[in-house]
Structure 1
């Protein structure tokens, strides 16, 4: 055997040895993971608290047929379970929602948008369940954060806040998550701090305006990392930055959450990183029963892994001041909810995950989304299937503007239709589909009788007016322009109101 041949054999043996060693390490890790998985799941599941589902209203928006999801995130200032040491206040006080946003995860699972709802927003609070089992009456023109305090319990009423958000938006909330002071502080400790940026020095009186003196400096101007109590102070400061409004504080909270997501992503989604993060999160988290176990929570979290930071946006519901309170601006807000329901991003792109021509996603202004609706030669009869007066006339006007011939309008046999239904006779499916483009979300079904009919449902009554292309009104420019991306520099847009 030659020297070169012996060297080659030794090389192959070393390679086989390295392969066996690698396989051995992998198998050992798999055994350890398998052995420890039960412990991990038991530990995490034991941390999770759930709120009762019987407080969720039975009068809810229909479940979305797309694969998108809506998650309500509530920041609670409850003082129970050690939170009073972090947030101040009486530990026996009632729970309140300090912040809230609705996270829409688009059906393509590559885009997401978080819509903040200011706590002072004037809304209609729908009926909510009280601790004694009775239900409240609708409370019109009430501050949004009052929903969480219905029943005046220390743990708050997340189901009532969920009912209120569904009533406000017309969107079905798939999951609700409540995070308290303690959980928030521990999360920032686990990730090793979150980068923030301040436009000025901040002092103790900026956090507590009732102080007689300015107090010690809490934050220096500029970039810095914060965690624990300092992170909590940062997101709670209201009076010391900008105009001192809650709107300004929301902008700062959006910047903080964006920076937190960036930090988690940069650290990598490895078990070593995720386990401490999950442990800290679940210890101070209350969720709906749909997320009430470790496997459900982890499965949901992993479904978000492909969302790009640049495609994660933060906005605030269209608003204006009404005295010292905040009013929702219409029809801008309805246009925003409609865009989320239709899985359209803030710039109008289709994020439904459905392929357009050539397997590409339809872009705003592209051939698929912008093609005009033409009803030339198509006759349609319109029926109002709701109790909303004038609805058939409104639909007829939209149809005639697109050259459809409306043969008549009338009241439907029943007026409890939730969804618009477009029925077509033999050989008229193509015509019915043209009509359907003017009624997003409508159901199209065949019928025995000839002709095309539109029976309007409550969904049409609640929807914003359609544009000439048949798509919902686009998201208001100001909302899109004011959006923050999760990959934005923390020092950008430091006006804070």
Structure 2
């Protein structure tokens, strides 16, 4: 791990700070935009310090979303500043523009993938909690991206928060549900995801059984494959042909792919090849939308340095404890006591207890074993 005194972190708490300063009060300077996905966040976590080589080119690519400026501080959970860090990572299923080939409603954006990444004090371990997009939640009062008020709603699908109120409403919904203040927010879009994987030279995985999914377009025999960007996107969107065909199985595939990505990203020669570094970094910074506190190359570099030692073996991944909704088997609802066990553990910067997921539908089934990471050479 990088020396925290040189990486913009608070020496007393270990919490990462941009440019070595303590966090400032939220500003209102950056506009909100809509793109997201955890894979680019992984690239930033594991290698973003290389971005410094091409600062001026890349800095112009980054557009930040001012989460803090759009939310009422008094209405948010207390920032405990206990040395840990919590990041909401969203992937959107916007179908407009370059993403239209993936189907769906033109111009409608929803959060297709959502993960709360909790980095423990010392930044050597992390827990990742996936939130199923079909989870029925109490969505709070939000402002739309045009500034109008959107009423609170009970039993709203989680991914509608992003649809009606953009990133700020998604953060507000997660904070209300978990009681944890999000320190950062990161997004990437489908097109950026696909291009990024291609720039990296693909991701090597082994499938333990054939995957043929007409919805995602993925057709793989059992065996070892180097997935290009389109195949990788197909994998993280596959659900019907793996496990029980639900969104919960798709989340397990996403988590398995994330581990494969982390395992290999440092071994593909990006950070020893200046041209490849430029190409990858250019693609990544065009694809991601961080919160405004990370909206520069310097801030992303400091953020990444503090997390650069995290490997797949250091990340514990679960799905938020849920059960199928008795009124609608196509939806899931949180198991309240178990979910609170998860969120309480993270608030206290403790490991998630195994008992929290014993009865969860999200961590049952074997979809996650269908894809296995390949060890880096």
TM-score, structure 2 length as denominator? 0.75
Distance 1:489 1:233, change over 3 A: closer
**Structure 1 stretches of 5 or more lacking a match?**
1-35, 152-156, 209-216, 349-473, 493-497
Q: CA deviation at 1:308?
A: 3.7
Rg comparison, structure with higher value: 1
For the 8 Å contact 2:161–2:173, the answer to whether it is kept is yes
Q: Which residue of 2 aligns with 1:328?
A: 334
Q: Which residue of 2 aligns with 1:459?
A: none
Higher relative contact order (CA 8 A, sep 6+): 2
For the 8 Å contact 1:339–1:475, the answer to whether it is kept is no
Distance 1:79 1:49 in 2: 20
Of 264, 287, 305, which residue of structure 2 is paired with 1:302? 305
| Aligned residue runs from structure 1 range 303-452, under 5 A | 303-322=306-325, 323=328, 324-346=330-352
Instruction: Tell me the secondary structure at the aligned position of residue 233 of structure 1.
Output: helix
Distance 1:236 1:476 in 2: 23
Distance 1:116 1:107 in 2: 21
Distance 1:266 1:184 in 2: 19
Question: 1:324-377, CA deviations, whole angstroms, 9 ceiling, x for partnerless residues?
Answer: 2101012111111111111112369xxxxxxxxxxxxxxxxxxxxxxxxxxxxx
Q: Which residue of 1 aligns with 2:292?
A: 289
Distance 1:268 1:336, change over 3 A: farther
For the 8 Å contact 1:191–1:263, the answer to whether it is kept is no
Say how many residue pairs are matched.
312
For the 8 Å contact 1:122–1:141, the answer to whether it is kept is yes
For the 8 Å contact 1:207–1:240, the answer to whether it is kept is no
For the 8 Å contact 2:262–2:311, the answer to whether it is kept is no
Distance 2:83 2:211 in 1: 44
Q: CA deviation at 1:79?
A: 3.0
**Structure 2 stretches of 5 or more lacking a match?**
1-49
Distance 2:372 2:51 in 1: 41
Q: Which residue of 2 aligns with 1:394?
A: none
Q: CA deviation at 1:39?
A: 7.5
For the 8 Å contact 1:97–1:145, the answer to whether it is kept is yes
Distance 2:215 2:208 in 1: 13
Establish whether residue 56 from structure 1 lines up as the match of residue 71 from structure 2. Answer: yes
Distance 2:58 2:253 in 1: 30
Of 368, 372, 376, which residue of structure 2 is paired with 1:491? 372
Q: Which residue of 2 aligns with 1:203?
A: 212
RMSD (Å), alpha carbons: 2.7
Question: 1:169-195, CA deviations, whole angstroms, 9 ceiling, x for partnerless residues?
Answer: 000001111111011112211221112
Distance 1:166 1:274, change over 3 A: farther
Distance 1:66 1:269, change over 3 A: farther
